[in-house]
Structure 1
Amino acid sequence: MWTRFKALFVSLPRTAAVLRGTSSASRAQRAPVEHSQGADIEQAFLGLLLGVHSPLPLALNQFELASIRRLESIADSALKDHALIPRVPAILPRLLTSFRDPATSSRDLAELVGRDLVSVSEVMRLANSPFYRRSSDARSLEQAVLVLGQRGLRQMVANIMLKPVYNSRRGHFSSIAAPLLWGQAEKTAAISAALAREEGDPDEFSAYLAGLSSNLGLLIGARVLDSLFDGSETPSSQLFRAQWLQASRRLTARVARAWDFPEPARDALASLQLDADVLLPACGRRLYSAERFSQYHGLLSRGRLPGSEGTSPRRLAHAEHFSIAMQTLARFDRRA
């Protein structure tokens, strides 16, 4: 199963580029950006989200035009006042403060988690899952915290905070997109953190948080589609997909800033808005690479691989990322 997956990543060059569309709905007649093979992975994943696997080289229809305008309007607005923007989890600022404090102990974190019974049950479940491969079960919260370690506990708490955001609203598009976006974001976060750890970045948690949050704009974009969809037109053009992706990326970066994410996480998310052929900073390169690996993993499991057997994504960060990504994704397969 993994032979073809490996073939796509083992010969990657050291630069990274991202597919980007035009920035305004008023440029509806402009030809879409030419896709690189690496961007084909992202495009195939967007096909899953939108339910349109073969977009057409057409001008924006009225539904697409209205959706792009609405999404860009939200990105330019005061986010806290908009109904489609997820509310920041109330506990997030306090947790981020604790996570940044090197003096915070496992006992401190256990006490913080212990105030929430849902968090307690999730800590116990995860500590005793195949993901950690223990010979005997953890039987107390403090034992479970030791199993997870500060790294695992911080990542788990971030998951608990953000997962409800993906499940809070459902419509025609978001009911399809939300579970795909959350599952892929979990994998992106884990790979991004693993790459940060491999490269000696001391702020591994910011890399994880950026990965876990990377799909927030796409989630809001799906909610925008829900709010305007009447069944008469579909998001079927290549140009819409490029503009929707770009507007969603910009919105993700704005939400991260509004939620006061750590600066490295904000920088990583903001870098995904850069134009094609721009060399990404280290944090953005890791996030971009992690996204492609996690998206490809999801496509592979659904039989939606892009291109032919000879396809090789170009300009997708370091080839050395492959083994780290494979080890991380294998742990998800065991957990499932």
Structure 2
Amino acid sequence: MTEPGEPSDAVSASYVEDKFFRFVFSLPSSADVAPSPQEQQALQRLDDICGGDRYDVRTLPRMPTVLPQLLRALKNDDINGAKLAELIGRDPVLVGEVMRVIGSVAYRAVQPITSLQHAIVLLGQVGLRQVVSMHVMKPILLASAGMFGQVAGQRLWDHAERCAHAAAYLSKGLCDPFEAHLAGLVSNTGIGAVARALDKELSGSLNSYTPQFIASAARIASELTLQAARYWDLPPHVLEALAERGSATLPMSQVLHAANLSAMITLMGESHFIDPQIVIENEGAGRFTPPQLARCRQDLHRHFAPPEPIYI
């Protein structure tokens, strides 16, 4: 349920982000007071490990070596199935993921799938792009929660799926939908690195987390997300959008800003952790109107809402 005293008027993006951080890691609410000495020490230690360029990105999971080539190939509408099959065939895990998806009910064909190339043709460019990007990001996010457990990892992934979907939805006519989808998927990967650092350094020593502490941790997480995206050699437009996280002047940055907030509200609303109709200041980043954002949230709800139970 929505907590007592939750604002009824428009709230800031920072308010929503604070709620999201607490939702992901099951942290209690906190009064907006100055961080305690223990929190200040923890933040200093976190900054020493993760701030600036001090984090060792080599400790991050590596992307499959074939991924940069595959991403470039998938942007070419004229690429043929044989070439895609040759690239994907270099990664046995990716081959397995393609075949798993194509065997699902959504793609079940009348005739048996006879080859990887056949599966790729049936998936199509859009389906294959989503399989590739989700195959790469899902295990990274699910394994990223540290002391906060599997629930946190699943919530990070649930948000990534919704953010990617919303970014592709909002990108129409503004930027490349696949690059927007990819930016949405990776938008909060740095949170996992911060969670692991907190796990290692704090080991549950803090009983409460003030909004200032969470905002500082979220800032560091954004820096780490950008470092990770560079390490993974993601497309330049994705890097630009992640680098503009705070200002959002480029079209893809504005798409990512709005998609991120829409995904947070939708996911928390599904768990009754926040009012799903809440109004956020500058949610549209100067690009999207309230009706456009409302339609985006409605599309997220239609796409991700759990099915209604069937009673017999």
Shorter-chain TM-score category? Answer: 0.7 to 0.9
- Using CA pairs under 8 Å that are at least 6 residues apart, name the structure with larger relative contact order, 1 or 2: 1
- In the alignment, what sits opposite 1:145? 120
2:51 to 72, 75, 84: 75
Query: What is the CA distance between 1:239 and its match in structure 2?
Result: 0.8
Query: What is the CA distance between 1:283 and its match in structure 2?
Result: 0.8
- Residue type of the alignment partner of 1:326: Q
**Structure 2 residue 283 is the aligned partner of structure 1 residue 316:** yes
Q: Distance in 2 between matches of 1:207 and 1:137?
A: 34
Structure 1 runs not aligned, ≥5 long:
5-34
1:221 to 194, 215, 220: 194
Change (3 A) 1:334 1:233: closer
Identity %: 28
Q: TM-score, normalised by structure 1?
A: 0.75
Change (3 A) 1:68 1:159: same
After the TM superposition, which residues 1-336 of structure 1 pair with which residues of structure 2 at under 5 Å, given as runs? Answer: 36-73=11-48, 74-77=50-53, 79-80=55-56, 83=59, 85-129=60-104, 132=106, 136=110, 139-140=113-114, 141-168=116-143, 171-173=146-148, 175-196=150-171, 198-201=172-175, 203-274=176-247, 280-306=249-275, 311-317=278-284, 318=288, 319=290, 320-333=292-305
Query: What is the CA distance between 1:177 and its match in structure 2?
Result: 2.4
Q: Distance in 1 between matches of 2:52 and 2:75?
A: 30
- State the SS of the aligned residue for 1:172: helix
Q: TM-score, normalised by structure 2?
A: 0.80
Change (3 A) 1:87 1:112: closer
C-alpha distance after superposition, 1:259-291 (max 9, x if no partner): 2221110111112133xxxx6321111111111
Aligned-residue CA RMSD in angstroms? 3.1
Q: Distance in 1 between matches of 2:109 and 2:64?
A: 35
Q: Distance in 1 between matches of 2:112 and 2:30?
A: 50
Q: Residues 34 and 210 of structure 2 are in contact (CA less than 8 Å); yes or no, is this contact kept in structure 1?
A: yes
Query: What is the CA distance between 1:211 and its match in structure 2?
Result: 0.7
C-alpha distance after superposition, 1:145-198 (max 9, x if no partner): 2332112202211111222222445531254422111111111112212221x2
C-alpha distance after superposition, 1:225-248 (max 9, x if no partner): 111223332342111011111111
- Residue type of the alignment partner of 1:330: R
Change (3 A) 1:137 1:79: farther
Change (3 A) 1:272 1:81: closer
Change (3 A) 1:96 1:62: farther
Q: Distance in 1 between matches of 2:23 and 2:244?
A: 24
Query: What is the CA distance between 1:126 and its match in structure 2?
Result: 2.8
- Residue type of the alignment partner of 2:295: S
* Greater Cα shift, 223-232 or 73-82: 73-82
* Greater Cα shift, 168-177 or 265-274: 168-177
Q: Distance in 2 between matches of 1:333 and 1:51?
A: 22
- In the alignment, what sits opposite 1:28? none
- State the SS of the aligned residue for 2:205: coil
- In the alignment, what sits opposite 2:7? none
- How many residue pairs get aligned? The number is 293
Query: What is the CA distance between 1:329 and its match in structure 2?
Result: 4.3
